[in-house]
């Protein structure tokens, strides 16, 4: 598979008129503490607890089926201990980015984030079951794979929720190809630049960039490319299940590569039906 890169000149041109919020100080402080030989769990927990909105969001996420913690988590200290530092930092990163992007938008993004949160829970559960990636990494991938959409709305007034809904179901052409034609950029590219700015892991960046690109399945000719195909396949499957639950149907990637994705994970049509029933039950309990 050929490599996809964006030079800084192109990046700056694409970002004209788009405000990418910087990573908050709390995230930088926690990252620095985590890198110490003996990280101070109490200090990290206290930092998170000082942010009321972040604390509430973290407790909701920690108690969701995505992280499968058996006992009820009622404090940030308990959440950090039970999640582990890697998962806790991943969750703080994801929740902080959601808050920052939403805070900069003039558009109501509640429905957008609700759908992303449902997909994130499903993706996290599937990641663990199908042995694709860590469930915390899968959660963040699903939560932010479309983070470029609010940024497209910010830059282009004609880029609306109806544009996304109409063109994401086009069986002939991906939404990113249609975005490129009309806007000379696409939400996957913007998502890549956001994830790079925030220091998200390389595998999340690659999957964000490629999650509407057919080449990810057509040219999986190396171990790295095969791993990326599984990650994008996992995300596409999670999206398909979420869309099915909400009676929205599959998108371009599932319509074109659903059978290939099922093959990657050894799934049959009957397994997909069972997953739809299971995830209906999981999301119904939230």
Domains with residue ranges and CATH for the chain: 8-284 (1.10.3210.10)
The confidence score (pLDDT) of residue 2 equals 46
User: With the C-alpha atoms ordered 255, 257, 262, 265, is the resulting torsion angle positive or negative?
Assistant: negative
The ranges of the chain with pLDDT < 70 are 1-18, 103-105, 169-171, 249-250, 285-286
Task: Decide: 249 and 255 in contact? Cβ < 8 Å.
Answer: no
Residue 273: CB atoms within 10 Å: 11
For residue 245 the two structure tokens come to 């639950």
Determine the pLDDT at residue 100. Answer: 82
pLDDT, one tens digit per residue, over 216-265 is 888 777 888 899 999 999 999 999 999 888 877 667 788 888 999 999 99
* 195 and 205 Cβ atoms separated by less than 8 Å: yes
List the Cα angle 171/232/115 in 5-degree steps: 75
Running DSSP on this structure, what letter comes out for residue 21? P
Q: What is the 3-state secondary structure (H, E, C) of 132-150?
A: CCCHHHHHHHHHHCCCHHH
pTM: 0.83
């Amino acid at each position: 598979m050929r490599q996809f890169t964006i030079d800084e000149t192109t990046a700056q041109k694409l970002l004209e008129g788009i405000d990418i919020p910087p990573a908050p100080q709390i995230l930088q402080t926690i990252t620095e503490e985590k890198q110490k030989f003996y990280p101070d769990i109490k200090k990290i927990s206290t930092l998170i607890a000082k942010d009321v909105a972040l604390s509430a969001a973290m407790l909701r996420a920690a108690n969701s089926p995505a992280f499968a913690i058996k006992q009820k988590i009622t404090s940030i200290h308990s959440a950090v201990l039970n999640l582990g530092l890697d998962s806790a930092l991943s969750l703080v990163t994801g929740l902080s980015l959601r808050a920052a992007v939403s805070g900069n938008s003039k558009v109501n993004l509640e429905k957008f984030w609700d759908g992303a949160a449902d997909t994130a829970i499903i993706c996290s559960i599937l990641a663990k079951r199908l042995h694709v990636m860590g469930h915390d990494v899968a959660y963040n991938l699903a939560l932010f794979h479309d983070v470029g959409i609010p940024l497209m709305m910010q830059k282009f007034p004609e880029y609306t929720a109806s544009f996304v809904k109409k063109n994401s179901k086009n069986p002939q052409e991906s939404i990113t190809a249609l975005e490129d034609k009309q806007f000379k950029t696409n939400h996957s590219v913007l998502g890549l630049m956001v994830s790079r700015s925030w220091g998200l892991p390389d595998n999340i960046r690659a999957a964000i960039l490629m999650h509407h690109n057919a080449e990810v399945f057509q040219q999986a000719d190396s171990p790295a490319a095969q791993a990326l195909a599984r990650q994008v396949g996992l995300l596409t499957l999670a999206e398909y299940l979420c869309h099915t639950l909400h009676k929205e149907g599959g998108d371009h990637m599932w319509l074109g590569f659903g059978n290939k994705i099922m093959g990657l994970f050894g799934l049959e049509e009957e397994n997909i039906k069972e997953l739809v029933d299971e995830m209906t039950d999981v999301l119904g309990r939230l």
